[in-house]
Amino acid sequence: MSTLVIVESPTKARTIRNFLPSTYRVEASMGHVRDLPSSAEEIPEAVKGEKWAQLGVNVEADFEPLYVIPKDKKKIVKELKDALKDATELILATDEDREGESISWHLLQILKPKVPIKRMVFHEITREAIRDALTHCRDIDNRVVQAQETRRILDRLVGYTLSPLLWKKIAWGLSAGRVQSVAVRLLVRRERERRAFRQGSYWDLKALLEKGKISFDAKLVTVGNVKVANGSDFDENTGQIIAGRRVLLLNEEQARALLSRIQNKPWTVTNLEERPVTRKPSPPFTTSTLQQEANRKLRLGARETMRIAQGLYERGFITYMRTDSVHLSEQAIEAARSCVQELYGSEYLSPQPRKYTTKSKGAQEAHEAIRPAGSTFRTPQQTGLDGIDFRLYDLIWKRTVASQMADSRQTHVTVLTQVEDAGFRSSGKRIDFPGFLRAYVEGSDDPNAALEDQEVILPALKVGDKPNCKDLEAVGHETQPPARYTEASLVKMLESEGVGRPSTYASIIGTIVDRGYAKLIANALIPTFTAFAVTTLLETHFPDLVDTGFTSRMEQTLDEIATGEAKWLPYLQKFYTGETGLATQVKEQESQIDAKVARTVVLENISAKVCIGKFGAYLESESEEGLVKASIPQDLTPADLDPEQVEFLLKQKTEGPEKLGLHPETGEPIYVLIGSYGPYVQLGEVSETNKKPKRASLPKGTDKDSVTLDMAVSLLTLPRLLGTHPETGAKVQANLGMYGPYVVHDQGKVGKDYRSIKPPDDVLTIGLDRALELLSQPKAARGRSKSATPLKELGAHPESGELINVYDGRYGPYVKHGDINASLSKDESVENFTLQRALELLATKEAAGGGKSSSKSKKSTKTVAAKSETATEKTAAKKTTAKKTTTAAKKTTTKKAATATATKKKTT
């Protein structure tokens, strides 16, 4: 007797294999094995002539989905069918969530097993959990499958119906998405707020006082019993004090006059207040809170966080990482309390076990929070993990253990001091008992807030004391515009608004960046001009689709379908084909949308029009000579575009570039210009005989107004030949690139070896000796150069003849062949790693579409329609999206007769 167990990934398969008897064979489906067609070539010939075929959903026959097996999955399906021939039992052990349930259902429809079938679920991959799951198998939950299919169809209908409209009215290749477009609108609204923001300025005084040789700060809060204005008193839209506020606004002159008046006058403590504060630990991680905290503390993007967490889960280190729940099992609570007892002592245990409940009605993924796996928690040091894997596990371990620790007890102290008629305030904090802070402190979205909870000690003071003033200064302030969203704060906002589900946030953010709707700069998500144009069109003509309330209600309905409280077919019919359905709206609105208006972004205080073109955003303005167009630099954001920049860009077009002077050797003029990629200097003018004059970008952070003739001449010498490498005889150069200045050892066909130039070294002055010193240093982890030294050389690939080597990467050792990289598992040592094992790993990765060459991101213009956000979720989150079959006997699709029949069809 043999049992075939099917999971999603090879890593998960390897881990589970260790916990099952030898009669069990574990294979991986590599995610979903079927999906809606993503291109015209995937549509079966039998239905290519149908109008609905491009959607991949038969909207004329009860929204029957058209499922196909992608070309890269046909080999896997065949292997699974072959494995099933030798099995006497089939166990579907995919993840316990909507995606996992859907994958199992799809496998059932494709494999059509004639042997007994079981559905095995678990939320951690440990020996105990797998053995327990084997004894508690169940059937596939058809309601969950139906809810996932509805979500998949809904996303396809939105994406494939609206995206072609955006192509026609704004620009080719744009996409809309059910959740993606709402998230983009949030970014655009914040950027509009930043544009509307008006800066206000105010002054106050800051004092350094001393009592008993202990110094402490004091800030001016009142003058003559009137509150002194601070940032919270300003109206963001006017830059003035909010109407009705009774505050004193000090300017620099008044602040300095007050300083002179109270200088050297006696200070007196007038009031002292101590307030006890108790802080409780945060609940264990859910998917969204893990993404937020990993972004704040580890600077990981949501997509990268989920990728690392998935690896930890599949190798048995943590429980399932897609969950809305903060609940901990009794086993987990006991394990966490045991850690507290052993590491910190009984006084740090909470008096009673803390039990957390999930408030969200939609919480329906895994049944536990994200925590260390097992009945006992391995400390981070005991795991053998390193690098970013170690740091993320450490975060999860600390958060889980801290959740069972005692409260932190603190005393907040406020001291008021008076000097003449000026009142000052000092704030202190005393930690009486650290409690859970010994293990974990939650991060903050406030960039000015410290991650660690620190004491602020004030001296022992009492009313009437007279501290000494050691220093007194006048300080000017300017109010700041609303902060842009980070990945953490956007995830927090989406969750609070009930938009999307935590398991999709990583792919949503990834889609926004990948599709050019936002740039991720210094951890901030900055919307592009294209995002403004698309959002304006959708707000004007399809307001519901970008309304957070509407989208949240849609999510609730999808959750109700999963629990049987709502019917899927009537909902889809009303949403898409009803009188106010999406298809009807698009048909009615298309003729009313003026493409020229749709491509134009209206910005306050900007006289010129901002338009979206084939190659990005540009300015358009009428002049005496006619219509003038000028490209907008790609690094210039909508919130930062001001009238002065507009004037310069247009003037550069009409009057020509600004001339710095003449080159001392050639006599040619040198100009400073701004192009699509920012400011640069140019030698000579563009002409018939000089179509491509020499150009050089300005170093990052260099303002165009600060460029001198000498600097420009030096920049135009780039790339600088520094000399030849003493070992290879190849040239060594210094130059400026996309990521800043660098030196390069150029060996032609052998390859190029790069190193960044960091201050105090300068690309314009660095010499050969220093360049050789930089090149001799190990390459930074960011890149994986062909010239990197392998940890182990394995030999040549039997087919291509290319060398296969093991390298040290950011996430541990990996094997590389051409464009395909495959990580070694944690239990595999580099020393014992063989060529045969490398070929197995590489084959598995290639079958999953792991190499660059297998990427399908670049589709031809014959692509049926723009990919919806769910299609991106497939590749970004875990390469799994809801996919189901048409149960055709001889034809590709059949019509669903009725909802009852459809439900019956899904019975397994």
Catalytic site positions = 320
Please identify which residue in the block is written with the tokens 């690392």.
308
Query: How many beta carbons lie within 10 A of that of residue 191, not counting itself?
Result: 26
Q: How far apart are CA 117 and CA 258, in angstroms?
A: 83
CA distance 771 to 743: 6
Residue 680: what residue type?
Answer: Y
**Residue for token pair 């329609």:** 865
Task: Report yes or no: 245 and 233 within 8 Å, Cβ to Cβ.
Answer: yes
- DSSP letter for each residue of 578-616: STTSHHHHHHHHHTT--HHHHTEEP-TT--SEEEEETTE
Reduced 3-state DSSP string for 284-345:
CECHHHHHHHHHHHHCCCHHHHHHHHHHHHHCCCECCCCCCCCCCCHHHHHHHHHHHHHHCC
A 10 A CB-CB count for 645 gives: 16
Q: In whole angstroms, give the CA distance from residue 309 to residue 456.
A: 36
Q: CA 570, CA 550: separation in Å to the nearest integer?
A: 17
572: part of which helix (H) or strand (E)?
helix 568-572
The DSSP line for 462-508 is: -TT---EEEEEEEEEEE--PPPPPBHHHHHHHHHHHT-S-HHHHHHH
Q: SS3 for 498-543, per residue?
A: CCCCHHHHHHHHHHHHHCCCEEEECCEEEECHHHHHHHHHHHHHCH
Can you spell out the DSSP letters for 268-279?
Answer: EEEEEEEEEEEE
Name the residue among 34, 36, 27, 35 with its Cα closest to residue 8: 27
How is residue 598 written in tokens? 């749709």
Q: Please, are residues 265 and 420 in contact by the beta-carbon 8 Å criterion?
A: yes
Numbers of helices and strands, H then E, in the chain: 24, 31
Cα angle for residues 589, 592, 598 (degrees, 5° grid): 95
Q: 134, 138, 115: which is closest to 126 by C-alpha?
A: 134
Q: Which of 581, 624, 512 is nearest to 185 (CA)?
A: 512
- Beta strands 117-119 and 89-92: pairing type? parallel
Q: How many C-beta atoms surround the C-beta of residue 678 within 10 A?
A: 16
CA 533/CA 165 separation, integer angstroms: 13
Exposed, middle or buried, 450 (CB in 10 Å: 0-12/13-18/19+)? exposed
Q: Which helix (H) or strand (E) holds 731?
A: strand 731-737
- Tell me the C-alpha to C-alpha distance, in Å, between residue 28 and each of 8, 16, 904: 5, 11, 28
* Pair 567, 899: CB distance under 8 Å: yes
- Measure the CA–CA gap between 271 and 269, rounded to whole angstroms: 6
Whether the Cβ atoms of residue 24 and residue 7 lie closer than 8 Å to each other: no
